[in-house]
Amino acid sequence: MQDFLQQTLSGRAPRKRKGETAHLHWQWLDHGILLMEPKEKALQAMVISAGIHGNETAPVEMLNQLLLPLLNGEKPLQQRLLVILGNPIALKAGKRYMHYDINRLFGGRWQQIVDGDEAHRVLHLEQAVETFWQACEVDETRWHLDLHTAIRGSYHTRFGVMPQSDRPWPPAFLDWLAAAGMEALVFHRAPAGTFTHFSCEHFAAASCTLELGKALPFGKNDLSQFSAAQQALAALLYGEALPDITQRPKHYRVAQQITRKSESFVLHMGSDTLNFTAFPQGTLLAEDGETRYYVQQAREYVLFPNPNVALGLRAGLMLIEEGEQTQALPL
């Protein structure tokens, strides 16, 4: 197998499901799931996923470019690696998802979906990740990088979303995110159904959802926009030097979540509202029947505003920049 992406989009398993180069063994585990293990002992085990949303193609193309030298035997592999293209059917269709947003279904939430192909896919991804982590050596470092692009434009072109965790973040992980060109990091304060939260909660992996620009179809991406991220990933995979850290990302934490609970939900933001747009205290953000969402702090920044999500799902997050003076409105 020479091209993991094309093989995945074909809908067929490769003729050979396992093989080796001078540096590594590889094995096709399932549709869009590839295990790669170096022949030398590794001290790190990494999951790199992309294509969880089928319309977010740039990270998929970038990841495939990084895999080609490994599969061709041109580069060594420095760590145990599980590569995942999350939703191949949606990738082939060029859609965010077919029926359900699978990045809301991890941690067993897929059981709420009756007889759905995407729910079964999440189960298979959970099982693949669990098997991979269970094979870890005791002293192995565990990282999970889930590569995405955003629907909307953003004041921070490249940013990371960190799952809720009670453990301190490893300094090496934060340094890597800075070297990868992340302009901002958003820290969740509550559990979620995302792939990275699943890895972090159940397997103590340092994990991050990386947002690398705007969602575009295959062939329309300018991968030069992600050169720092690609170089940083190459450094992890091949053992090359990390790019220099030119600036540290700003840190934000989630202040509140806007949830669409009924058909009467109205989001008071235009379709051109950028991620990280700031709103002053007291601004009416959304209405849902008798429920009103207001800016509580002196200033809050919006992330992922989307009035068209399914009922019960997140229609936006409101953030506070760490270090800013904040004072909540009285209840």
From the candidates 56, 118, 211, 300, give the one annotated as an active-site residue: 211
The CA distance from 200 to 93, in Å, is 30
300 is catalytic: no
pLDDT tens-digit map of 3-53: 999 999 999 989 999 999 999 999 999 999 999 999 998 889 999 999 999
Q: Does the pLDDT value for residue 138 go beyond 70? A: no
Q: What is the Cα–Cα distance from 201 to 195, expressed in whole angstroms?
A: 10
Q: Provide the strand spans (E) within 197-261.
A: 206-214, 250-259
Q: Does domain 4-238 have CATH number 3.40.630.10?
A: yes
Q: Token pair for residue 183?
A: 């302009």
pLDDT at residue 122 is higher than 50:
yes
Residue 331 predicted with pLDDT over 60: no
Nearest residue to 212 (alpha-carbon basis) of 277, 160, 166, 141: 160
What local confidence, expressed as pLDDT, does residue 59 receive? 92
Average pLDDT, the chain: 91
What distance in Å separates the CA atoms of residue 42 and residue 72, rounded to the nearest whole number?
20
Domain definitions of the chain by residue range: 4-238, 254-321
Judged by average pLDDT, the poorest of 127-136, 163-172, 224-233 is: 224-233
> Which CATH number applies to 254-321: 3.40.720.10, 3.40.50.620, 2.40.50.630, 3.30.420.40?
2.40.50.630
pLDDT tens-digit map of 173-222: 999 999 999 999 999 988 889 999 999 999 999 999 999 877 676 777 77
Enter the DSSP assignment of 218: T
Residues 229 and 240: beta-carbon distance below 8 Å: no
